[in-house]
């Protein structure tokens, strides 16, 4: 009888822990999923709801797949801004279905996936966006994402910078960002070379770049 009583207590404790743990998990999940919504001001909410209504109106009037793709992209952004992540993902997916070459939709989906911690999906999306339409902004987002979320090695980041500079040539933002990265990992000579390249393509700010070179040479 005593052993049955003890067994009953153990089962009750296990049940309480499981239920309690699930409640905590559910609360955290709910909080996470609604984070964007809770932090919005009323003015911001009205703005995004207005953008969502406009996107729906544009979709109703659109006649081509390309236009519909663009408006679904707008809808995805508005929904994501409102914290409605699942609906935003569906909107971006529809945008891409209608126009598989819509780099902007992939970029928007990337931002959403980073926010919802779908890092594998985010990496695929930003790579596709860059493949379709390489820009310095997308490359910088990919590099920052690789550093912060993927914890990529210095060697991997260095390779990404080199790929970006081959993809988007003579871009001072990428060049100067690469120079700073090279300095951070202790490669001052290579950093100096990037500052010299910055001078070649942006003579207007030559003095600023030369100051960086002087500092590194000290």
Total of domains in the chain: 1
Residues, the chain = 218
Q: Has residue 70 been placed in a domain?
A: yes
Query: In which element (H, E) is residue 103 found?
Result: helix 103-115
Q: Which residues of the chain have pLDDT under 70?
A: 1-38
Residue 113 lies in a domain: yes
pLDDT digits (tens, 9 = 90+) for 102-115: 999 999 999 999 99
Residue 145 belongs to a domain: no
In a domain, 128, yes or no: yes
Distance from C-alpha of 115 to C-alpha of 63, rounded to nearest angstrom: 32
Nearest C-alpha neighbor of 80 from the set 119, 36, 138: 36
State residue 33's pLDDT score.
37
- Let me know if residue 21 belongs to a domain: no
The total of other beta-carbon atoms located within 10 Å of residue 189's CB is 9
118 lies in some domain: yes
Q: What pLDDT score was predicted for residue 38?
A: 56
**Using CA atoms, how far apart are residues 153 and 143, in angstroms rounded to an integer?**
11
- Whether 87 is in a domain gets the answer yes
Q: Tell me the residue range of the domain where 94 lies.
A: 42-133
pLDDT for position 39: 87
**pLDDT recorded at residue 108:** 98
Residue 117's domain is classified under what CATH number?
1.25.40.10
Q: How many CB atoms lie within 10 A of CB 159?
A: 13
Which DSSP state fits 64?
S
């Amino acid at each position: 009888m005593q052993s049955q009583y003890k067994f009953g207590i153990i089962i009750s404790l296990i049940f309480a822990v499981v239920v309690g743990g699930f409640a905590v998990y559910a609360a955290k999940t709910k909080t996470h999923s609604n984070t964007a919504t809770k932090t919005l001001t009323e003015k911001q909410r009205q703005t995004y709801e207005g953008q969502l209504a406009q996107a729906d109106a544009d979709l109703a009037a659109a006649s081509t797949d390309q236009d519909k793709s663009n408006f679904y992209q707008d809808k995805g952004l508005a929904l994501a801004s409102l914290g409605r992540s699942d609906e935003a993902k569906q909107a971006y997916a529809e945008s891409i279905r209608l126009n598989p070459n819509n780099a902007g939709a992939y970029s928007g989906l990337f931002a959403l996936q980073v926010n919802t911690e779908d890092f594998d999906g985010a990496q695929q999306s930003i790579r596709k966006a860059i493949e379709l339409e390489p820009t310095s902004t997308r490359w910088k987002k990919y590099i920052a994402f690789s550093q912060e979320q993927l914890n990529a090695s210095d060697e991997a980041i260095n390779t990404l910078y080199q790929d970006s500079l081959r993809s988007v040539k003579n871009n001072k933002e990428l060049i100067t960002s690469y120079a700073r990265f090279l300095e951070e990992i202790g490669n001052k000579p290579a950093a100096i070379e990037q500052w010299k390249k910055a001078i070649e393509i942006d003579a207007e700010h030559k003095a600023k770049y030369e100051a960086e070179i002087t500092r590194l040479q000290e």
